[in-house]
Chains A and B, each alone.
Chain A
Amino acid sequence: MSDRWTERLSEYLDGELPETDRAALEAHLDTCAACSETLVGLRRLVLRARSLEDRPPARDLWSGIADRIGAVPRRRRLTFSVPQLLAAGVALAVLSGGSAWMLHPDATGVAAVRLDSAPSGVVPVVAGGSTSETARSYDAAVHDLERVLAEGRGLLDTATVRVLEQNLALIDGAIAQARRAVAADSANVYLNTHLAETMRRKIHLLRQAAALVSAVS
């Protein structure tokens, strides 16, 4: 799953490989399916990260949650020091306006990564951290946002609350299906990424709901 070129894919993506190494890596990509797949996954991550919003909800609501999940400000460029994590079946989720992180439902043997800011604006993906810790951070963020929605539901139009809850249920159903699929094929990059992306959607929708509550309170 990993070879000496895997470590250099991020430099390749950033256009920082010397010409000779670049040519050698491209030749390697022609024959190595694992590296090619990892490269595709990394490109998706970069594309996704570049589209992140930086706009927080109107009220100070987000700051506490962002602290809890380790959210960091603006990012537009990524450097990956350990991209083989993708090939190892680690899932990716990106929190809009906040951190990007990876998680896996089964902590055994699977690393978690998070994105931390760097002074230059380059955001390295750093290996390490506990998957269970990441999962707890996610659960806590969901819990906080759900509490905001529960406490503020009386302030919102009933039709809006109904639509929000229906769509959250829809996402929960998708998350449950994706979890079962990952459990059956834990090394599947697509399934892990899809699970993480669907979980990100839940956070995003809950943040929208919290912003609506904030706007009318």
Chain B
Amino acid sequence: MLLLLALLQQIDSTVPAERGQRLEVSSYAGDISVRSWNRNAVRVTADQEGRTRVEIDRSPGSITIRTVGHRGAPRMVDLVITVPTWMPLDISGVNTDVSVVGARGAVSVETVQGDVDVDGGEGLVSLRSVQGSVALRGAKGRLEVHSVNEDVSVGNSSGEVTAETVNGDITLRAVDASSVMSSSVNGELTYDGTIRNGGRYAFSTHNGDITITVPEGSNAAVSVSTFNGEFASEFPVTLTETRKGKRFNFTLGTGRAQMTLESFQGTIRLVRPGSSRDARDRDHDRDRDDDG
């Protein structure tokens, strides 16, 4: 234990930052925690172990922070980085959990084994993980959230939303979106947000339910398709066209938004505001009863 402590060296460095610079972080393993402040400077704190060092480089276009192994891959290093709110962020890792709070610029995060949790971001916000969950809140702009094997969520955000995962649920709540593309192969899709006139909203899953909360006064031309699933609505809809199989269209209000809802073998459900969780809970209770 004493030896281990002796090998650990804490770093605490602050470098000036100028508008036009972006922060680039690359770490192999450990947590990356990015916070913001009102100073035009970047502060980095970390416990670095003897065989792994933290390098900080500054150029006119960027401030770069990376962990470097003496021989082989770097060891685990937990980085705590404080940045100006305006600073664009470009963060990548492998075995790395990433959290960001308070960003007001573009944010790009990519990790393989780790969760991504971002509060903030404006402009292009692109978050990706292979094995971890991805959660985004308080962002606006073009929002892209991707996972492979875990859930994806966006909350209290606005703009154009693209959300994808293969094996996980996608939850979009309190989202003011002009366009949404939400798709999973094996997961449930939930949307509780605005349906804007002229907006485009596309939800597609192979094996999962889709639950859409439809705000009062929404205007949408809705296209529903399923192969082996069901459709349920908490309010009456008048079908304008029924195609072969379980495919049909209907219009809400003036139909000025376009909405497509596709689940190969899940239930597609339209609910009133405030009732989506209730509906899902009822289904889960029913499933439990059936199992019992």
Contact = CB atoms under 8 A, between A and B. Distances in A.
A212 B130 contact: yes
B148 to A, nearest CB: 5
Contact of A174 (B131, B206, B258): B206
A194 B206 contact: yes
A150 interface: no
A47 B113 contact: no
Interface string A55-75: 000000000000000000000
A51 B162 contact: yes
Interface in B138-178: 148-149, 162, 166-167
Contacts of A48: 181, 202
A190 B130 CA distance: 28
B64 interface: no
A166 B149 contact: yes
Contacts of A166: 149, 167
A44 interface: yes
Interface residues of B, number: 36
The residue among B113, B166, B186, B244 with the most chain A CB atoms within 10 A of its own CB is: B166
Contacts of B149: 163, 166-167
B130 A174 contact: no
Contacts of B202: 44, 47-48
Interface of B: 95, 112-113, 130-131, 148-149, 162, 166-167, 179, 181, 183, 185-186, 200, 202, 204, 206-207, 221, 223, 225, 227-228, 241, 243-245, 247, 249, 258, 260, 262, 264-265
27 contacts: A37-B243, A40-B223, A40-B258, A40-B260, A43-B200, A47-B179, A51-B162, A51-B181, A159-B113, A160-B130, A160-B131, A164-B130, A164-B148, A167-B149, A170-B166, A170-B167, A170-B186, A174-B186, A177-B265, A188-B245, A190-B227, A191-B245, A194-B264, A197-B204, A201-B166, A205-B148, A208-B130
